[in-house]
Amino acid sequence: QSALTQPPSASGSPGQSVTISCTGTSSDVGAYNYVSWYQQHPGKAPKLMIYEVNKRPSGVPDRFSGSKSGNTASLTVSGLQAEDEADYYCTSYAGSNNLVFGGGTRLTVL
């Protein structure tokens, strides 16, 4: 069982927005602003999309945004495109140099 809870699936039509949640506890997501999101296409390595809750690495489209409220972090993908179809994982720092992962969400573009 993963430390962070994500919905197993999410979906949206092209052009729509979809939000994926990542629920932790007051010891991880709620305690630190070190939530990250990764995108993984089948057979590929994960790719960092968001770090420190809402920061985007260079090259990541601004259609991807992150936020946090209490013990729940969220990734929002706006203006869905076919290439956004992938698995998405959240992680959070949990203190004492521990990092916890979510179980992943499969995003389907209808």
Partner 1 sequence: EVQLVESGGGLVQPGGSLRLSCAASGFTFSTYSMNWVRQAPGKGLELVSYITSSSTIYYADSVKGRFTISRDNAENSLFLQINSLRDEDTAVYYCARPGRPYAFDIWGQGTMVTVSS
Report the nearest approach of partner 1 to the CB of residue 53 (Å): 10
- The contact set with partner 1 (CB under 8 A) reads 2, 32, 34, 36, 38, 45-48, 51-52, 55, 57, 89, 91-93, 97-99, 101-104
Strands (E), 1-110: 9-12, 18-23, 35-40, 47-50, 64-69, 72-77, 86-93, 99-101, 105-109
- Which CB, 3 or 18, lies closer to partner 1? 3
- Which CB, 45 or 110, lies closer to partner 1? 45
